A and B are shown apart, each in its own frame.
Chain A
Amino acid sequence: MRMFARIFPHPLLTGLLTLVWLLLVNRYSINSLLFGLLLGTVIPFITRPYWPDRPALRNPLKILAYLLIVIWDIVVANFTVARIVLFKSNASRHPAWITIPLELRKPEAITVLAGTITLTPGTVSADLSAEGHYLLVHCLDAPDPDAVRDEIKTRYERRLMEIFE
């Protein structure tokens, strides 16, 4: 078992890399599956120093639900931003910086949250505080910054807490 962990430090990454290789080839054959497995073994092995921990993921179903919510929000975000760009004058727009206190502590979880914030309606994550306890987010149009903060916390962070922590 320890031998297995030495050769495959990240079994999930191995699976993902194999899958990505198969998608890149775009046609299933035993050759590409074997080559994908080879890449999936060699790459995690070589890059192991950069990934010391293995993030524990719970609730695969929750991950799927989270993905669906985010994809839906991305589509909505496109329409929201397009409407603001086309129909709102610069003077009536309220750009704002907001601070989000983080309950997430794992770097992987914070990365996913920051990425989600950037892809969803009118918000871009700009910076993390020095000790990683706060996230600085820029809003394109936020008449009520507190509402934006609360929505991010309840809609995304709560779900990520259930998945990661």
Chain B
Amino acid sequence: MSQIFEYLIAAALVLGGIFGLVGSFGLVKLNDPMSRLHAPTKATTLGVGGVLIASMIHAIASEGHLSWHELLITLFLFLTAPITANFIAKAHIHRHETPQSLPPAGEDGLWATHDVPASPEAAPTAPLARD
């Protein structure tokens, strides 16, 4: 494998590693749950992306053909990252936000997570203890 390819692969891996680290550091440093959600959903995209680019360059340089798996992984990542973030955000709204603590939802009245039909059997919803 030529020297240039090795440098390119190394650079992509280091870049990916840095972004992965920044994403994880954001989890520790940011101070409220919703802000913490930002670091892993975004900084990690380029973190994983760097590793995938390195893998593609490696396939071209050492095996001489283009590998398509990396594109698929990127696609699946782009599909799943927003859904995961949305689930975590909804769980947060459900447990720690009230309709008063969020901005008003215009003529719709409530945000979907708070729009729960009242059922007579359900126990009165006491706010869950913060863990």
Contact = CB atoms under 8 A, between A and B. Distances in A.
Interface of A: 20, 22-24, 26, 74-75, 77-78, 81-82, 85-86, 90, 93, 95, 97-99, 101, 114-115, 117-119, 121-122, 124-134, 136, 138, 140
A128 B112 CA distance: 6
Interface string B94-105: 000000001111
B89 interface: yes
Residue in A81, A115, A125 with the greatest tally of chain B CB atoms within 10 Å: A81
A39 B122 CA distance: 43
A115 B37 contact: no
B26 interface: yes
Contacts of B113: 127
B57 interface: no
A95 B35 contact: yes
Interface in B20-43: 22-23, 25-26, 29-32, 34-35, 37-39, 41-43
A99 B103 contact: yes
A24 B86 contact: no
Given A81-B43, A114-B82, A129-B108, 6 more contacts: A81-B39, A93-B35, A125-B86, A129-B106, A129-B110, A130-B105
B81 A130 contact: no
18 contacts: A23-B68, A26-B69, A78-B46, A82-B22, A82-B43, A85-B26, A85-B30, A97-B103, A98-B103, A119-B78, A122-B38, A125-B86, A128-B112, A129-B106, A129-B112, A130-B108, A136-B103, A138-B35
Given A118-B82, A118-B86, A127-B89, A99 B41 contact: no
Interface string B106-119: 11111111010000
B32 A101 contact: no
A98 B103 CA distance: 7
A24 B112 contact: no
Residue in B81, B93, B103 with the greatest tally of chain A CB atoms within 10 Å: B103
A95 B102 CA distance: 13
Contacts of B111: 127-130, 136
A130 B33 CA distance: 23
A114 B86 contact: yes
A85 B43 contact: yes
B129 to A, nearest CB: 22
Nearest to A95: B35
A115 B79 CA distance: 8
